[in-house]
Amino acid sequence: DAGVTQSPTHLIKTRGQHVTLRCSPISGHKSVSWYQQVLGQGPQFIFQYYEKEERGRGNFPDRFSARQFPNYSSELNVNALLLGDSALYLCASSPIARQGYTFGSGTRLTVV
């Protein structure tokens, strides 16, 4: 079974640009969450989607948005990139909300 897959694995963007990160959950998992992990910190919750609906949003600005598709894959979009958006972005999927979440390997975003 394939795990949670994220693409791309690494990305370098310039300040002010826009970025789209992609996530494919484990087959059968309907819940997808996004986290931001800045170097030296624990992951911080950005969004959760369950059955294609947004079920939760963390304390992030409106520059961050996401959506979930009918096949349960998800995209995270970040507009007007800032240097502080440089981080590892992690996607996690779960069959049912609150069960153990399986994380992907993440996308390393560097903003220069």
Partner 1 sequence: GEDVEQSLFLSVREGDSSVINCTYTDSSSTYLYWYKQEPGAGLQLLTYIFSNMDMKQDQRLTVLLNKKDKHLSLRIADTQTGDSAIYFCAEIARGSTLGRLYFGRGTQLTVWP
Residues in contact with partner 1 by CB under 8 A are 4, 6, 31, 33, 35, 40-45, 48, 50, 55-58, 90, 92, 94, 97-106
Least Å distance, CB 80 to partner 1, is: 25
Least Å distance, CB 49 to partner 1, is: 9
Q: Comparing C-alpha atoms, which of 22, 75, 26, 36 is closest to residue 52?
A: 75
Residues 56 and 49: beta-carbon distance below 8 Å: no
Amino acid 67 reads: R
Please tell me the total number of residues recorded for the chain in this structure: 112
Least Å distance, CB 40 to partner 1, is: 7
Identify the three-state secondary structure at position 40. Answer: coil
Q: Quick one: 13 or 45, whose CB is closer to partner 1?
A: 45
